[in-house]
Amino acid sequence: MLFVGDDWAEDHHDVEIVDETGRTLARRRFPEGLAGITRLHALIAEHLPEPAGPADPAPQVVVGIETERGPWAAALVAAGYRVFAINPMSTARYRERHSTSGAKSDAADAHLLAEIVRLDRAHHRQVAGDSALAEAVKLAARTHQSLVWDRTRQILRLRSALRESFPAALKAYNDLDAADTLQLLRLAPDPDQAARLTKRQVLAALARANRRNPEVVAEQIMAVLRAGELRQAPPVQAAFAAIVAAQVEIITTLNEQIEVLGEVVADHFGRHPDAELITSLPGLGVILAARVLGEFGDDPSRYVDAKARKAYAGTAPITRAFRHQEGRDGPLRPQQTPRRRPAAMGVLFDARLLRRQGLLQGTPDQEDRPPSRAAPARQPLGRHPPWLPEDRPALQRNTRLEPPHQRRRLTSKNLGCLPRT
C-alpha cells in the first residue's frame, strides 16, 4: 500500500509518496493539467509493489489532498485511488503537532498529508463516488444558492442607500426585489423624480408584475412618494440616485439569472433516478430537493446507516462542558450550529419539521417538551466522523447544576443578549 500526499496550488502540485512504514519513496512537483497527472501516475506505478501471485489483491493507493473539486481530484478518483479530502483546518492542527515554530512549506504539507492518510485516515471521510449527474446537480444547485445569497446582499445594499437618501421608498415598496419595485426605482431613483411619477406609469409597473388591486396600490404608492420629507443636498442626492440605479440593474440581472439557473437545476435533477423519491418527502420542492441530492450525493456506500446520514446532515446532538473561573465544571451547554452551505440539507431532519403531527409517528410535539429543557444541539457539518453514540454520555460526578431560579433557557431571544439585571 502506498500513501500519497498532494499539496495543491493553482499551477502546481507538491507530491510525496511514503510506504506503510513511513519511509519516503519519492518527492516531486508536478504542473497542473494533463501532463502533470500523467507523470504522477507514472511515478506511482514505479513504486507499486508487484503482487506475489494471481490470488493476491492489487496494491492500494491512498491519496490525501485538501480539495475534492476540480479535474485533478476527479482524475485521482477515476484512477481507482482512495482519495481523502482533508479539511485545511485539520491539516493546520496536524502541523502544530509536528512543529511549533510556525514554519510552513508546500513540501512539508505534502509530507503531512501523506502521514495523515497513513496513520489517521479512519477519522477522515473518503471522497464519495457520486455519479456525474449527481455532481452536475450539486454544482448547479450550489451556484443557484450562491446567486440567491448574492441577491440578498445587493438588496441589503439597496435598502441601505434608500434609507439614507430616499426613506419614502421603503414605505411605498414592500419587496425591493419585486419586478414592479425595480421598474419604479429605475424610473425614479430619487425623491424628486418619484414625486413626478404619473399614475399611468405606476399602474403600468403594477400590471406588468400582475399585482392585485392595482388602482388602490397605485394610490397608496403615490401618496407616500408625494408626501413631504427631508432631502439630501443636491450633489449627494444625485450620487445616491446613481447608486440606487446601479443596484437596481444588478438585482434585475440576478433575478433573471436565478430563473435561468433554476431551470438548469430542475432539468438536471429531473433526469436523476432518485428525483421522484426525494421530492416525495414533505416540504421539498424541486430546488430544495436538488440541494439535498447534491449535498448528500447518490453513492450507496457513502453512509453506513441512517445515523451516519443524520450526523452528516448536522443534527447529531453534541455538548461542550464549560468551566467556571474557579476551576469547577460548569453546566453542559449545547453547541450552536455554524452557518454553512450543507445546512440546507438539514431540512430532512429539522426538528420543527419532524415534530409536525402526522410526519413522524411517536414524535412528541413542540408543546410537549418540558419548559426547562433546552433545544437539541446540532453537530457542525463535516467536522466529525459520521456516527452517533448509542447512549447519552453520563454527567461527571463533580458536575453541579445551577439552582432552578438561576437557570436560563437557550432560546433565540436569550442567545446573544445580556441577562436582565
**What confidence tens digit (pLDDT) does each residue in 323-372 have?**
555 555 555 555 454 445 654 555 554 433 444 434 333 334 444 444 44
Q: How many CA atoms lie within 13 A of 377 on its CB side?
A: 15
For residue 185, the tally of other CB atoms under 10 A from its CB is: 26
The SS3 of residue 345 is helix
Model pTM above 0.75: no
Q: Tell me the per-residue pLDDT of 82-125, one tens digit each, with 9 for 90 and over.
A: 999 888 888 888 888 777 777 788 888 899 999 999 988 888 88
CB distance 110 to 8 below 8 Å: no
**Residue 216 in this model has a pLDDT that exceeds 70:** yes
First to last CA, the chain: 64
CB distance 225 to 195 below 8 Å: yes
CB distance 97 to 70 below 8 Å: no
Q: What is the pLDDT of residue 392?
A: 42
Between the CA of residue 372 and those of 53, 321, 369, what are the distances in Å?
Answer: 66, 18, 8
Q: What is the 3-state secondary structure (H, E, C) of 277-305?
A: HHHCCCCCCHHHHHHHHHHHCCCCCCCCC
Could you identify the residue written with the cell 435533477?
269
